[in-house]
Amino acid sequence: MGHIIPLFELAKRLVTHHHFHVSFLVITTADPLPAAKTNLLCSSTVPSGLHIIYLPPVDVSNLVADIPPGLTPLCIMVQHSLKLSLRSVLLRLTRPVALVIDLFGTDAFEVCDELSIPVYSFFTNSASFLAFSLYLPTLDRETEGEIVDIPGPVQVPGCRPIHTHDLLEQVQDRKSDEYKWFFLHMSRLPKAAGILTNSWKDLEPVPLLALKENPFFLNIPTPPVHPIGPLIEEDEPITESGKEILSWLDKQKPDSVLFVALGSGGTLSSKQLSELAFGLELSQQHFILVTRKPNDASAMGAFYSAGGKEDDPETYLPEGFAKRTEGVGLVVPSWAPQVAVLRHASTGGFFSHCGWNSTLESVVQGVPMITWPLYAEQKMNAAQLVEEVGVAVRPVVELGKEVVGREEIERVVRLVMEGKEGKFIRQRAKELRDSARIALELGGSSFDSLTHVAKAWKLGRNAA
């Protein structure tokens, strides 16, 4: 969902602001679409001129049956789907001026080369992560052994150093399939006619400048990078349960509620979920806890079932938790209208997994964060938000321990919701909120960046 949502918002913006006819290609499998995806694509806010095309379902169950959730099964799914139907679908469309792909859809390059259709990558992650991804082939070539064993941080040219313990899981074992798939797709990025990134100048000035001017990136060569963000979900369908959540928020004081939600696929272990619940209770702060059944095997246990039905939280939260926190906290199973909650005046903090989509939603609403990264590049995002952007605090994880204790959770919750540091990062978040709004308005940096690309497409050229 963190990739589909911004891609869909880009499609809508190309229709409504730049008057394109857009075909939005949806990869499907033999399994039913997750509820969250169905709700998004069937929304009444889809403009005329935006046509959703469901690619024929692919059955890769025999190929991914014994593979845990992660990048590998996703890439296998995408690869088989594009090979099966992309060419025939593009041939049925009327002279596409460009194909915009997700960063894991690079198998489209071969098809589009044959059809003379320029391919643009929409990098739905941060510009900082884009810089790392473009640097990875060089890092791989120059590193003996494992990247995570490099002494000292990884120095991406022109960017903030990255501590090896924050590197995404996919690069921690170079012999793994996860690394091979990630490396394959990132090594193909220079093939793109251009790279659209879901960011803007004021949020990430350093990596965006490096991508544009640093000699390393100029020599790769790096395709033109167009910051067009923040593209987030503007209107989401509000269910009856969502209306109840917003009604509860209406009764709370401004900036008084901590929103706890760990993404569309994130799951905690039983021990960690218990410590989180006790930490929230100890903090005595008002909260909304979006929770799902714990998973001791994977931090992304709900990755392919976003928005699906969940078990009763009382069966897995600490005994008596809901009753003891009644009136102070609200426990929500599985899913909440995140954009609407973050937009609400009563929401004063976001306890987040730091997926880039959720990060942008929080920044756009001026809400400070507590970082709780779970998988993929989320640790890198968390470090960036704390050390460079200045809109978040990060719990301290004791050396050798996998579970963050309730006392530390209580500390960071209080810090954000009532401490001096919380006031500072809240002010910084509100500054970026205003900056994001200006970037997307007529004449703003991101509006102009997408307009530049759109004009080039209409003239039959690639955007420089």
From the number of C-beta atoms within 10 Å of its C-beta (0-12, 13-18, 19+), residue 94 rates as: exposed
Question: Which one-letter DSSP state was computed for residue 55?
Answer: P
- Return d(Cα 425, Cα 392) in angstroms, integer: 6
* Annotated active-site residue in 3, 226, 286, 344: 3
Q: How many residues does the chain have?
A: 464
- Catalytic annotation present for 102: yes
Helix intervals (H) in 321-444: 321-324, 338-343, 356-364, 378-384, 406-418, 420-440
The type of residue at 152 is G
- 3-class DSSP assignment, residue 446: helix
CA distance 241 to 336: 8
- Complete DSSP assignment for 291-351: E----SS-TTTTTT-TT-----GGGTSPTTHHHHTBTTEEEEES---HHHHHHSTTEEEEE
**Residue given tokens 């964060």 in the structure block:** 369
Helix (H, G, I), strand (E, B) or coil at 272: helix
Nearest to 103 by CA among 59, 54, 136: 136
β-pair partners for 348? none
Which residue in the list 18, 19, 80, 102 is annotated as catalytic?
102
CA–CA distance, 459 with 283 (Å, rounded to integer): 58
Give the whole-angstrom CA distance, residue 285 versus residue 74: 38
Is residue 349 within 8 A of residue 370, CB to CB? The reply is yes
Do 70 and 96 form a contact (C-beta atoms < 8 A)? no
| Active-site residue flag, 3 | yes
- Omega into 205 within 30° of 0, i.e. cis? no
Q: What are the catalytic residues?
A: 3, 102
